[in-house]
Structure 1
Amino acid sequence: MSGIGDLSAAERNKRPIFDALAEWLAGARTVLEIGGGDGTHARYARQRLPHVRWQTSEAPAHLRRLTAALVDAHDDERLPPPLALDVRAAWPSAQYDAIYAANVAHIMSEEAVAALFAGAARRLTADGLLCLYGPFFDTEEVPGEGNLAFDRALRARDASMGIRRREALDALAADHGLRRIARLKMPSDNRLLIWRKDGANTC
């Protein structure tokens, strides 16, 4: 799934995201990015996480854009060619230490979000991390006016879209052997949510 926004938005949020991710992914060797967009975060990952093999992916309809954006990096084994990935269909057979997605949950349908969690649980290694960045609603927090307006705009555009509730995502995660271990405040009323796969989970 491709995110809403432009290159400047990706440029603005890449530093705070990777400032937060660096500690959590210090021991990771392989990461799957869902919804790689224009490749901005993948390129930045090479700088901030040089020990990681960062596998990008995109929905089939948007794969050409991502592939073109990263064409000059295909000789770098840390940034292999992007994969076509519809989270509701077949996933790559590889296992990953972490799965990352920025600004995708709110432009996916609820069915696709559920498929994202199910697929992540299957493809993560034991103790692997699922990391989602973006706007989320939370019963423990008063929603910001910006996020409320954004949610209304999303649903007016497509009724299947909308900002997801953190509690609903936690429930989905628990159904698939994932436990949330972090909820980090980020700029512009965004959050970075991180779930860990139970090392005993074999789903």
Structure 2
Amino acid sequence: MSVQIGDNSAAERNKRPIFDALLPWLRDTRCVLEVGAGDATHARYARQRLPETVWQTSEAPGHHRRLVAALADRQERHLPAPLALDVRGRWPDGPFDAVYGANVAHIMDWVAVEALFAGAARTLAPAGLLCLYGPFLRAGVAPEPGNAAFDAALRARDPAMGLREIEALDTLAARGALTRVDDIAMPSDNRLLVWRKRDV
């Protein structure tokens, strides 16, 4: 299944504010796994903002060829070969200092969201970070009009998709010994959520 909706212009437009928020968390990382890398817009930008970090891209098997082609077209020689990753299947061994995904949770079904958190927890190093960017809901709080409309459009397209409640994600995180350590407001009613793996 796909874990990326392709709006290249959105990825290009959002990359700077996302990495401005990510940088304090990822500054000392050695290896990051990106889930749902799309056309590698964020991966290429990560090379500029985090030049010492190995940024491992991945994409769902059905969209992996697009990611490979995007990197080949740009003659990108500084990124590892992209992985085909079904979050519900086998994950790379890692360990990774961080797992990052932009706009992935709301286009996965809930089983895949559960698998995303479980897989990240397994592959993260102790004190590693799971960082998710996108639109989210809060339990008992009316969403912003734009997010409400987007959520309705997603569910009309596929009832299994939809914006996820932060509190429900925290519950999944806790199963994998992950604790939310940041919740950053981003442009256009998006957020950057960061969970840290407890050293257990």
Please report the TM-score for the alignment, with normalisation by the length of structure 1: 0.94
| d(CA) in 1 for partners of 2:171, 2:136 | 14
Q: CA 1:110/1:2 → structure 2, altered by over 3 Å: closer, same or farther? A: closer
- Are 1:46 and 2:47 counterparts? yes
| d(CA) in 2 for partners of 1:22, 1:110 | 29
Matches within 5 A, 1:102-181: 102-139=102-139, 141-181=141-181
| d(CA) in 2 for partners of 1:141, 1:14 | 28
Counterpart in 2 of 1:3? 4
Give 1:140 deviation, angstroms.
7.2
Letter in 2 for 1:163: L
How many residues are paired up? 197
Q: Which deviates more, 161-170 or 5-14?
A: 5-14
SS at match of 1:164: coil
Give 1:141 deviation, angstroms.
5.0
| d(CA) in 2 for partners of 1:7, 1:101 | 15
Letter in 2 for 1:100: Y
| d(CA) in 1 for partners of 2:55, 2:139 | 34
Give 1:4 deviation, angstroms.
2.3
| d(CA) in 2 for partners of 1:65, 1:108 | 19
Letter in 1 for 2:48: Q
Aligned residues: CA RMSD: 1.0
SS at match of 1:90: coil
Counterpart in 1 of 2:62? 61
SS at match of 1:150: helix
| d(CA) in 2 for partners of 1:194, 1:18 | 13
Find runs of 4+ consecutive structure 1 residues off by over 2 angstroms: 1-5, 139-142
Counterpart in 1 of 2:199? 199
| d(CA) in 2 for partners of 1:140, 1:156 | 22
The sequence identity of aligned pairs, in percent, is: 64
| d(CA) in 2 for partners of 1:139, 1:108 | 19
Letter in 1 for 2:152: R
Give 1:134 deviation, angstroms.
0.2
SS at match of 2:131: strand
Counterpart in 2 of 1:12? 13
Tell me, which stretches of 5 or more residues in structure 1 are unaligned? none
Q: CA 1:20/1:140 → structure 2, altered by over 3 Å: closer, same or farther? A: farther
Please report the TM-score for the alignment, with normalisation by the length of structure 2: 0.96
SS at match of 2:194: strand
